[in-house]
Structures are given as structure tokens and as C-alpha cells.
Chains A and B, each alone.
Chain A
Amino acid sequence: MKKKKKNQSFGKQLTVLIVLISAVLGFAAVTVSYRVYSRDITKYYDKNGISLVKTLASQLTADDLDRYYKTQDTDDRYYEIQNFILDLVDNNDVEYLYVVRPNGNGVTFLFDSDLRADADGDYYAGGNCSLGTYVKLEGAFAEITDQLLAGKEVRPIVAQDATYGWLMTAICPVLHKDGTMAGYVMADIDMNEVVNTQHHFLIGLSALLLTLTVCAVLLSLFILRRTVVVPINQLTHATESFVEANRAELSEGIARVNVPDIRTGNEVEKMAEAFRKMQEDMAAYVRSLIDMTAEKERIGTELSVATKIQADLLPRIFPAFPDRPEFDIYAETNPAKEVGGDFYDFFLIDEDHLALVIADVSGKGVPAALFMVVAKTLIKNYAQSHDSPADVFTNTNAQMCEGNDAGLFVTAWMAVLEISTGLLRYVNAGHNPPLLRRRGGTYEWLKSRPGFVLAGLEETRYRENTIQLGIGDRLFLYTDGVTEATDAEEKLFGEERLQRNLNDFPDDASVREVLGGIKRAVDAFVGAAVQFDDITMLGFEYRSGQGGAGND
């Protein structure tokens, strides 16, 4: 069974708590004060009764009592005493006041406050206890018969009597000179009256406590409301609505703190300060996030522009030389990042000389891309000045070494073909050698002793090699992004796999088809792994030494 959690308000909880505490404290207070009060009030009546009987006893002489007991005749003295008794009863909280003479198992009444005078001054007996009435002792009185007969002092007796009600009887002996008992003065005090007084006290006390409790609850609630509940509700509202109300401002980085100024001087004020700080921090954080995002977007935009510029630097329209049927070229590059360090290039130096370049800048990204632009420009410039390939690299290297504090370098391979004769002069600056396929044969590496990388050491001089191309011969230039493409298990695509793939193509597959096929093979090999390096390839086929347009 799921217990439903009630969301009780602070005020309700506190009220319950205060009421509970008040109830416990009130109960304790009422109990203690009632006990003390009861004891005191009983004592008071007790004392009152005793002093009353003592007063009367002091007015009586043992002789009087002996005489009335024996003669049972009333005289003037008797009525004097009787009037005195009536005075006492009228002026004190006492039900009955009477004088008895214990004898045998009972007492003989000598005086009784029930005997009153009427308007004419004649006395009449209100009760049945006129002089000489004998009453048998019962209950608590029967138990003290011996003491009464001996004239002992007796503690007041509280007894429930069917006829006279709940009474407390105060008792005082009247003694002969020799110490023997002459009689007893007794006063009955109505205990109901005592209890009533006590009940009144109890009700009054309870009412007072209840009033105080209600006041305490109201005061606590008032203070709680002012210093806790209202501020917390304000905080809750401010926090709940901060993002909602500030959505636009937040996204513009101008969000304002909405925590109200809370001055309660307690923990709630501290909490409000903490909330304020949190909102300020949040707004500041969002602001910096917005700035950062804007900066990132700006960089992203610039990078995509850079990607475009870099791509535009390379000849990308194929067929590149539609009016030159003597040869076919296709090339492509796939940067690992937005901009790459690889590049290829091909251009006619003059009508009879075609330059082919492939290169790879160490490193990747923007620094490599910048370096690549320099390398490409220098190589093309020197080549177009009809420098030999070796001189192109020697001069380019010398230029690039100047101020190359970043320590970047370029591996490059370049060839210049004399179109009319098929003579190919090439130079290698630390680059992967290309593969050459003689007509009808297979792709083999065109190995040569490489020179040092470009921009590595100033004094490097490059040597060139020469081979003769025949009709139908093909060249495949690539960067190490191809052979070092890595699959998920960290295996390299490798040179052997490249060579095998190249040789798997039919002889009549176009240069473009071959490059596309190799790229697909590399992609399939890499699979889900991330492309780590730029992948660049250039394919070339020598078709004839004769210019097509004029000699066809």
C-alpha cells in the first residue's frame, strides 16, 4: 500500500506542536496546582472547623455539660450557649455545630444548632437532636468510640452519610479538671462546598491555560508567518518563476535576480542571500555560455569558409583539361578536420609540360592548412618559372625554412612530364613514393632515394630522377592517410592492401573509377572508426604524346 505523503504547511505543523506542548504542560500545571490547592483548601476548612469547635469548647464548662447531661433541663444559661452556637453557625461555613456527651455505644446530644428560636423567641427543634437525644455511633465514629469515651483529641473525620451528605466533622473535647471527658464539641462542614470551590478553581485554571495556549499559538503563527512562511513562499515563487520569467533575458544574457529583499534576521535571510547568489551565478554562467557559443559559432563559420577557400585552391573541375586528350587526371582530398594539411596540384607549365604534385603537411587543422597554402603557392610559383623539379623543391624548402618556428614540415612528391615525349622528371621530399603501372602490367612502387622533408633543414638539396612513360602507363599518387587509415581494431590499411586493391581493377577502369574504388575500400576498411588523417589521392594516365586537337 502506498502511503500518501501529505504536504502540510509549516503553520499547521507548528500549531499542532504548540497545542501538544501546551496540553502536556497544562495538564501537569493543572494537576500540580489542583493537588496543592486541594490540600490547602482542605487544610483551610479543616483548620476553620477546628478553631470553630475550639472556640465553642472554650465557652463551655465541664460542669454545665455535666448538669445538662444529668438533668436534661434547659435554663437561661442553656439558651445563652445555644444563641452563641447559632451565632457561630451563622458567621461560619458550617452546616451543623453541636455538643454531645459520649456514653456507651453512642452519644447524647446536649446542644445542636438545629434548635432555633422563632419570631416570638420560642425555641423549637428543627431536627431530632434536641437535648437528651441519644444517637448510636456508626461508621468512622464507631471506630473511635473508645477515644471519645477517654476524652482524647481526635482528628477531623470525613464521612459520607445518607441523611446528612458528605461531611467533614471537626471534633474538640471538653474535659473535667481531672482530665476526664465531659463532652465533645463537633462541627459538620459540607464537603460538597469544599469540592465545589476546588472545581471552580480547576475550571478557572483550565480556562486561563486554554486562553494562554490560544494566544501562544496565534502569536507563534504570526511570528512564523512573518519571518518564515511568507519569506519562504516569496523565495519559492521567485525560484519557480526565475527561468520562466527570464527566458528571453537569460538567452540575451541580461537576466535580473528576482529574489525579494528579505530581512528576517534569521536563517531565511541567509537562504535568500544564497538564492540570490545562485541566481546571479546562473545568469553569469548563462552569459558566459552564450558568449562561448557565439564564439564557437563564429569559429565554426570561419572554419567552414576556410574549408571552402581551401577546397577552391585545389583544381576540382574534371575533366581538368578537356582539350588535352594526351592524358587523364583525377584527384580528390578528404580532410579529417574542417581544413586539412594534405594537398594535390596539377597544372600546365607550358603547352608541353604538366606538373603533378602531392604533399602532406605534418599536423592537422588550421596551422597545417596555412602551411599547406604557403607550400602549394611556392611550389607552383617556382615550377612556373621553369625551374627543374629538384630546384623547385630546393627553393621552396629554403623559403619555407625561414621563420618556421612552429617546426612544421611538408612531405611532397612532384613530377614534371614532357607531354610530347613522355619523359617524367620527379623529385621526392620525404613523401610516400607513388605507384606506377606500366601498360598491361601491375602497380609497383616508383622507388627513389627520397630527399629530406620540405621546411625541415635549410641546406637540404634535392636530386631528381627520370623515367620514360609509355602510352597507357598510369601513376597513383597518395598521402599516408590512405595507407595509415585505421580500423576499429587499430589495424592499418597498409601498402600491400592498397597495391592489391589497385591491381584488382580491370585494365580499362578509368582513373576516376580507380580513385573512387580505393576511397570506398578505405571507408569500408575503417568502418565506424574515426577518420584520423587527411586522405588524398591523385591518379594519372598517359594516353599519347600527340596533341589531340591538331593531330587527330
Chain B
Amino acid sequence: MTIVKKQEGAALTIYLEGRLDTSTAPQLDAEVENLDGVTKLVLDMKKLVYLSSAGLRSILSLQKRMSRQGSMVVRNVCDVIMEVFEMTGFTDILTIE
């Protein structure tokens, strides 16, 4: 998968492209290892086509960290992934725009 990061001050936007699953989730974990000073994190999923439970785990861990140091927003979620979020109850804990 392709991960593009764009930082503007304390706001960080991460563009996810492709499949976020067991094999690619460690890639995302590595990219967000250091989030010092980030108070607003945006996950852009416009080009994300697949999300597995391993990907959900990475997103959950990001959400937990950002709850402590600011806020996290998930945006441009397609129908397939929205279904995953709904089925797993992630819609309750994520801020989805």
C-alpha cells in the first residue's frame, strides 16, 4: 500500500491507498511511530479499497493515542469500508466525516 503524510503545523494528514491488512498494517504502524506534537490527525481513506482486522487494530491504536493528545478524524470513507466500521462498532468510537 502507499502511505503519504502531509504535515501542517500540529495537523497531520495521512493518505492511505490500497489495502490495509495483516501484511501492510505494520507499514502504517511504522509511519506513525512518532506523533510527537501532533494534535490533529486526519486519516484520508479516499483510495483505501480494503480494510482487515489487522488494519482496524492499527486504526484503533491510533485513535487511542490521539484521544490522549488531541483528536483524530477519518474522512472520505467508501461504502465497503464504512460497512466494516459499522459491523465492528468502530462507527461508535471514530469521528467519521
Contacts and interface: CB of A to CB of B under 8 A. Distances in A.
Residue among B54, B87, B88, B92 with most chain A CB within 10 A: B88
Interface in B1-59: 22, 52-54, 56-57
A545 interface: no
B60 to A, nearest CB: 6
A330 interface: no
Contacts of A411: 53, 88
Contacts of A450: 86-89
Contact of B89 (A364, A452, A484): A452
Contact of A432 (B87, B90, B92, B93): B87
B43 to A, nearest CB: 16
Given A452-B92, A456-B93, A362 B86 contact: no
B47 to A, nearest CB: 17
B61 interface: yes
A451 B57 CA distance: 16
B68 to A, nearest CB: 13
A451 B89 contact: yes
Interface in A249-264: none
Interface string A411-434: 100000000000000001111110
A456 B60 CA distance: 7
A407 B60 contact: yes
A484 B52 CA distance: 9
B89 A363 contact: no
Contacts of A430: 87-90
A452 B93 contact: yes
Contact of B57 (A407, A429, A432, A532): A407
Residue among B56, B61, B87, B90 with most chain A CB within 10 A: B87
Contacts of B90: 430, 452-453
Interface in B66-88: 86-88
A48 B57 CA distance: 119
B53 A363 contact: yes
Contacts of B86: 450
A496 to B, nearest CB: 13
Nearest to A433: B87
B87 A453 contact: no
Contacts of B56: 362, 409, 453
A427 to B, nearest CB: 11
A363 B88 contact: no
A407 B61 CA distance: 6
B57 A409 contact: yes
Given A411-B88, A432-B87, A452-B92, A363 B54 contact: yes
Interface string A349-376: 0000000000010111000000000000
A533 B23 CA distance: 12
Contacts of A484: 52
Contacts of B61: 407
Contacts of B60: 407, 409, 453, 456
A457 interface: yes
A457 B22 contact: no
A383 to B, nearest CB: 20
A403 to B, nearest CB: 14
A408 B57 contact: yes
B88 to A, nearest CB: 3
A452 B89 CA distance: 4
B89 A429 contact: yes
Given A364-B22, A407-B61, A409-B60, A453 B88 contact: yes
Nearest to B85: A430
A362 B89 contact: no
A188 interface: no
B26 to A, nearest CB: 11
A473 interface: no
A363 B93 contact: no
A480 interface: yes
Given A363-B22, A407-B60, A407-B61, A480 B53 contact: yes
Residue among B53, B54, B90 with most chain A CB within 10 A: B53
B53 A362 contact: yes
12 contacts: A362-B53, A407-B60, A407-B64, A409-B57, A430-B89, A431-B87, A450-B88, A450-B89, A451-B92, A453-B90, A460-B89, A460-B92
Given A428-B89, A533-B52, 16 more contacts: A360-B53, A362-B53, A362-B56, A363-B53, A363-B54, A363-B57, A411-B88, A430-B89, A430-B90, A431-B88, A450-B86, A453-B56, A453-B89, A456-B89, A456-B93, A532-B22
Interface of B: 22, 52-54, 56-57, 60-61, 64, 86-90, 92-93
